[in-house]
Chain A
């Protein structure tokens, strides 16, 4: 897309990353926190793709590939932890879990 400046994509990615940060910092439900992390990862991917398109370089897309693979691994492990936590404490609200807090 030759007509839209790169800054638009970067600004959109910044806004999405901020929304994801708000979700991580304000929500109590572990699964929604988890989805907010996915939003943040995706906004970083958008920046990678924008710069890859701008510089005409394939490496940006390779990095997106790696980020997606790590996100998939994180999804599997994170949801397994949520399941194990629910089995132990019958809750998914992070403020009710304070085993490591004093």
Chain B
């Protein structure tokens, strides 16, 4: 039992708990706040995996930009608490839970039970997680994809404005 395990335990338990609150909460704002906690816990897990750049990006993009968008839409729509679901819907919910539990068991089986011995992280001498290394890779081998992402985001912005605007002109 060392400090790493304690840190991992706290981060993962909080991540699972906040994900559960997000999924089960009746009020969308409560869900959104739990999701912010979830994003921060995942950023901590990325830090524990030496991925500093991605951890910072997680906080800026997810906890910053995307969550602001979600909370803004909740505010615009003036959503309150959801009422209790009807009987006919509860059967579908049960089916959904069974399906996803089966899927989760299959995933866990593939990830955990097939491993003969635990795979510990090897020590890598080269710094491969720094912003410099990522930028190097991004602007050489993945330059075309990087530019395509720019086009995709522009298209998304234009599409969002077109969809959300009442009348274009």
Contacts and interface: CB of A to CB of B under 8 A. Distances in A.
Q: Is the interface of B mostly helix, strand, loop or mixed?
A: helix
Interface bin, chain B: 35 or more
Contacts of A1: 4, 8, 48-50, 121
Given A19-B16, A73-B152, A79-B160, A54 B138 contact: no
**A-B pairs, 4 with minimum CB distance:** A25-B96, A18-B104, A56-B124, A5-B118
Interface of A: 1-23, 25-29, 31-32, 34-36, 38-39, 42, 45-46, 49-50, 52-54, 56-59, 61-62, 64-66, 68-77, 79-84, 86-87, 92-93, 95
A89 to B, nearest CB: 12
B119 to A, nearest CB: 4
Given A53-B50, A77-B163, 13 more contacts: A3-B4, A12-B15, A16-B16, A22-B23, A31-B31, A36-B22, A49-B46, A58-B133, A61-B51, A69-B152, A73-B152, A75-B66, A82-B73
Contact of B51 (A53, A77, A79): A53
Given A1-B8, A35-B35, A79-B160, A62 B137 contact: yes
Interface of B: 2, 4-5, 8, 12, 15-16, 19-20, 22-23, 25, 28, 31-32, 35, 38-39, 42, 45-46, 48-51, 53-54, 57-58, 61-62, 65-66, 69-70, 73-74, 76-77, 79, 82, 85, 89, 92-93, 95-97, 99-101, 103-104, 107-108, 111-112, 115, 118-124, 126, 128-129, 133-134, 136-138, 142, 145, 149, 152-153, 155-157, 159-161, 163-164, 166
